A and B are shown apart, each in its own frame.
Chain A
Amino acid sequence: ILNVEQSPQSLHVQEGDSTNFTCSFPSSNFYALHWYRWETAKSPEALFVMTLNGDEKKKGRISATLNTKEGYSYLYIKGSQPEDSATYLCAWGDAGNMLTFGGGTRLMVKP
């Protein structure tokens, strides 16, 4: 059974704060690490897909890094805004694109 873990489970920050959270995953047989953003009452939306050790991806104020050798990825949000409030899911993907999801980090940004 694959173990994909995310921490913290939830996070409350003030508008303007920068924040980061972690996804840890098995480093053996690594193929791809996916990050999704999931707003309440909507569907998960792909943010990043990373495949190479040392990969860094950026989308606006959100960025992610990948360390496949030690089995972790960080997601950073710079200057959090209320609209960033969502659950951020990471998923370990195998070569067949079967995804094993972590439990998510629920971010709440207070205005």
Chain B
Amino acid sequence: DAGVIQSPRHEVTEMGQEVTLRCKPISGHNSLFWYRQTMMRGLELLIYFNNNVPIDDSGMPEDRFSAKMPNASFSTLKIQPSEPRDSAVYFCASRGQYNRVETQYFGPGTRLLVL
């Protein structure tokens, strides 16, 4: 299995531009999570989906952030308009079995820099 796939791996954009981050979870995993990692806050959960339905988006910072999961194999996180304080590494994770207990498998992350 290829694991969780994220694209792009790196994104540099200018303030005010729209940014779209993409994630393909591991096949067969029913839950998908978007996290943001910053130096100040560490790893924080933004939103998670169960069977493609958003369950908890309380971690989404503000209306500029939106996430969708149109099907079981694809999710997007969109920032519009982007701001310099959005610069961070964004991770996607999907949930599956690990030694017969469920855990989350992380993608490689998208490193976003907003100038």
Q: Using a CB–CB distance below 8 Å, which chain A residues touch chain B?
A: 32, 34, 36, 42-46, 49, 51, 89, 93, 97-99, 101, 103-104
**A49 in contact with B99 given A98-B48, A99-B45 (CB within 8 Å):** yes
Q: Is B101 an interface residue (CB 8 A)?
A: yes
**Distance of A98 Cα from B95 Cα, bound (Å):** 10
Q: Pick 16 A–B contacts, CB within 8 A, sort by A.
A: A32-B103, A34-B103, A36-B106, A43-B4, A43-B91, A44-B43, A46-B98, A46-B103, A49-B99, A49-B101, A49-B102, A49-B103, A51-B101, A89-B43, A97-B104, A99-B33
Q: Using a CB–CB distance below 8 Å, which chain B residues touch chain A?
A: 4, 31, 33, 42-43, 45, 48, 56, 91, 95, 98-99, 101-109
**A43 in contact with B107 given A49-B98, A98-B45 (CB within 8 Å):** yes
Nearest B residue to A104, CB-CB: B42
Report whether A44 and B31 are in contact in the complex, using a CB–CB cutoff of 8 Å. no
Quote the shortest CB–CB distance from A36 to chain B (angstroms).
8
Contacts of B107 in A (CB 8 A): 43
Report whether A46 and B105 are in contact in the complex, using a CB–CB cutoff of 8 Å. yes
Contacts of B95 in A (CB 8 A): 97
Contacts of A97 in B (CB 8 A): 31, 95, 102-104
Quote the shortest CB–CB distance from A21 to chain B (angstroms).
16
Contacts of B56 in A (CB 8 A): 98
**Distance of A34 Cα from B43 Cα, bound (Å):** 14
Nearest B residue to A93, CB-CB: B103
**Distance of A45 Cα from B33 Cα, bound (Å):** 15
Report whether A32 and B106 are in contact in the complex, using a CB–CB cutoff of 8 Å. no
Quote the shortest CB–CB distance from B35 to chain A (angstroms).
9
Quote the shortest CB–CB distance from A9 to chain B (angstroms).
11
Pick the residue among B42, B48, B101 that contacts A101 (CB under 8 A): B42
